[in-house]
Amino acid sequence: METIYLTRIHWRDHEQEILLSVNEEPKNLWIPEEVRLDYSDAVCRYVLEGGPSSTDNVPLVFPASDVARFLRFQSFASVPIEIGEEEVYGTLCGASTGRVKLDDLQMHELRRSARRIALWLSRNAAQLPVGMVAN
């Protein structure tokens, strides 16, 4: 994937915030940090609502997403960052303008990374700024 990024979903504001992104060279796809987007068009939303966790054909699988079309997503993967048993904090995502088909091991590693992030957030909630974990 050309970019991997961590999001936080602000449920009350109906927004998704890019907290951290790692963008590869060359910069065919650049996801900036500290940006808030309307959650209704987030590709992550479609995944959380039952869409596939990964695809190498975003235009076919998520045709309604203007953001994915604007950024020219061809491949996308997303897993939730879950705090506790029911609270979705955000998502860990990967995207690419080229076709990248993730295998089961790669998806397992993405889910494992999401669980580690959730554990860190849970353990460090007291040190985080007010509202960083709770919605």
The distance of Cα 32 from the centroid of its chain, to the nearest Å, equals 13
pLDDT tens digit string along 117-131? 999 988 876 665 545
pLDDT tens digit string along 49-79? 999 999 999 999 999 999 999 999 999 999 9
Q: Does domain 3-126 have CATH number 3.30.450.40?
A: yes
Question: Which two three-digit tokens encode residue 25?
Answer: 């060279």
Query: pTM for this structure?
Result: 0.89
Q: Residue 111 to residues 13, 14, 25, 81: CA-CA distances in angstroms?
A: 26, 24, 24, 9
